[in-house]
Amino acid sequence: FTLFNPFSTESRPPKTFLALDFSADALDDHLGMVVKYQLSGEYAIHPKVSLGLRIPLATLREEFLPKQTSIGDVALTFKTLLWRSSEPAMSLTFGEVTSFPTGNSNDGFGTGVVVFAPYLNWAVRWHKKIDTFLTLGSSVSASHEAAPTVDFATGISVPLVGGKAPLKGLLSLQGST
């Protein structure tokens, strides 16, 4: 499995934020599970440009092996706003995520190579609270061993708890070819 995921943040246009994402996936034939955490942050250096950092962590619980927890491949992000409309609130952004081989690829916690992932994201905000998005991109390895992929994600983000520390639910369909 790979921990690198350029689309796993709810931030669409550039903004300043700090987030902790969490997911759990079952392994084939019920042989265990993978629990993934990702600490991500972004800083808007301009209303149309942001820089960010993603630090993925995972716990692998397999039926016949001891539990392992490790860091994955750390990624730096760049995002710029290409277009925005106010009614309805829509935006088109271009981004680039570069992941570095900080995770142990022998244990499945990293790729072992630098990965470049440019993408375009179109987002719509409904009723000032509900966000929908469509992201198309590609992942290109600095190694000649892996072929480039076409990546996609679509989803919806809904506020669950408001206030100074809001909680949002994110439902997303993601894939690669």
Q: Given pLDDT bands bounded at 50, 70 and 90, which one contains residue 11?
A: low
pLDDT of residue 7: 47
Mean pLDDT across the chain: 84
Q: Which SS3 state, helix, strand or coil, does residue 106 take?
A: helix
Q: What is the pTM of this model?
A: 0.81
Are 56 and 3 within 8 A, CB to CB? yes
pLDDT at position 157 over 60 = yes
pLDDT at position 43 over 90 = yes
Quick: pLDDT tens for 76-135. 999 999 999 987 789 999 999 999 999 888 887 888 899 999 999 999 988 878 889 999
pLDDT of residue 12: 67
pLDDT of residue 128: 78
Quick: pLDDT tens for 63-72. 777 788 899 9
Quick: pLDDT tens for 30-41. 778 888 888 989
pLDDT at position 47 over 50 = yes
The residue count of the chain comes to: 177
pLDDT of residue 169: 83
pLDDT of residue 1: 39
In angstroms, rounded to a whole number, what is the distance separating the alpha carbons of residues 93 and 84? 9
In angstroms, rounded to a whole number, what is the distance separating the alpha carbons of residues 72 and 160? 28
